[in-house]
Every structure is written in C-alpha cells, then in structure tokens.
Amino acid sequence: MTESSMFPAPAAFSYPGHGPKARIGVAICHGFTGSPHSILPWAEHLAAEGFAVSVPLLPGHGTHWRDLARQNWHDWYRGFETAYLDLAARTSDCYVAGLSMGGTIALRTAARHTVAGVAAVNPGLSFYDRRVRIVGLLKYFQRTTPPLQEENSTASATDDGDYSVTPLAAVHQLSRLFSATLRQLPAVRCPVLVFKSDTDAVVPPSSLELLRRRLGSRDLSVVRLPGSGHVATLDVDAPLLFEESARFFLQHARSTTPPAATSENP
C-alpha cells in the first residue's frame, strides 16, 4: 500500500444543473494543499439554485504531501482548465471561480479563454513570507516547511489528506504560478468579483492591490467578508459569499434575465 492510497482522494463534484439556470456553468477551483471539500458548500449552494457546477480535484492534492511535491503548476492549471472546457462545452455561459490559489487559477483561465466572469475568494498573487524569493534555491537544502495556519479561525475543518508539512518544491511552483498569472492579468476582460476576508492571515492585502493595478477588466467589484478568515467558504460569512456570487453569475449571464439591482455590500 502506498502512502497516497492510505488517504483516499476526496471526490470531485459535478452537477448538470436544472431549470433555466442549467444553461449557466460555474467551474470552481480549490486552493493549494486543499481539495473540493473546502468549496463543497459553495458548489452545493449553486447546484441547489440550478446552476451547472464542476469542481475538479487538482493533481497532487487530496492525498499526501509527497504527491504534491511531484507536480508543477502547469499540472494544477491543466487539471482545472480541462474541467472548465468540458463544462463550457455544455453551457451557454460559463464562469470560473476559486478559493485562494484556486482564485489565481480562475484568473489565469479567464486570461486564456472567453469566460463569462470570475468570482475569486481571497485570490493569491503574493506572499507574506519574503523568503519565497529564494525558495527556488532553498528547496534544495530544506525539503519541507510547517503549513501556514490561522489562529482563532472559525472555519470548519476538512479532511484533505496528509498535508502535515508543505513541500518547498510545491511552494516554488506556487510562486511561479503567481508570477505567470500576474503577467497575464491585463488579458482578463470579463467582469471580476473578489471576496476579501478582513482577517486573512494567508494571503496579504498586496495581492488585491496587484489585482487592481494589473487587471485588464474595468469591471471589478470587491465584497468584504468582515467575520471570516482565509477559507471563507467554510466560515461565518459563507452565506453572504454564496448569495452574492449567485447574483453575480445571474447578472452577467446572457442566457437569463438579470435580477433586480440590490444595494452594494459596504
């Protein structure tokens, strides 16, 4: 038995949609060292509303940290891109969404494909730890590092496999993904909705500032999540996130009539 088989991978999530909203697809990407578990309530909410939803499991995730060390950022991106293209082929309007690194991958997808819009939760484009600048060298002397954890987080726990340590080789790949996505942000022309937690200890505020400066689209909206940490999809502001994202998807879809305008979230 391999280490990976000791931790069965969390299942991907897929729903074909129902009613008029079945023509609207939403492909959602989980974050670094995470799995579909971290965004499952979001996916299930959208599915209950009638949207067609796809949540893939990225390569190297949901099993063991050694599996993550064997993958590169192109593998992660292609894993999500394949799910997006499949869903887009079956829907009239297809959005991309994601949490943390998943938001980064969603933005890169929007730069490379004609998506209906992007909904990103605490998307990463920069790091708090400046040592990441030398992680390409450091990985040869230090194989792993303790995972970054938030203190006093109210997000519910998930079983994403054994990621008790984080391989520095994977952190290096994450850094390369951020850099590649930053270069392509001017090509994103669709509407973008960002949810930003006030107490996010994982993704620094500089990520949002970089997004504001480099995004090609002029249609950028930011919704504050005052009570949530980084994994906001499992935290106290999750209902707000679910409702606002569903409204965003309906508002910008060509295949349905937009809902009545509502007041902005402060």
| E-only strand ranges, the chain | 13-15, 24-29, 52-55, 93-99, 118-121, 144-145, 166-167, 192-197, 220-225
Indicate which residue of 30, 37, 61, 230 is catalytic.
230
Active site residue 100: yes
For residue 193, the Cα-to-chain-centroid distance in whole angstroms is: 12
Cross-strand partners of 158: none
Distance between first and last Cα of the chain: 52
Indicate which residue of 100, 197, 207, 228 is catalytic.
100
Determine contact, residues 94/26, Cβ cutoff 8 Å. yes
Residues 6+ apart with CB under 8 A from 193: 117, 118, 119, 120, 221, 222, 223, 244, 245, 248
132: amino acid identity, one letter: V
Active site residue 230: yes
DSSP string, 161-174: -B-SSEEHHHHHHH
Q: Are strands 13-15 and 52-55 parallel, antiparallel or unpaired?
A: antiparallel
DSSP string, 18-60: -GGGGGEEEEEE--TT--GGGGHHHHHHHHHHT-EEEEPPPTT
Nearest to 121 by CA among 177, 21, 192, 35: 192
Structure tokens at 109: 């997808």
Active site residue 200: yes
Indicate which residue of 67, 93, 160, 200 is catalytic.
200
- List active site positions: 100, 200, 230
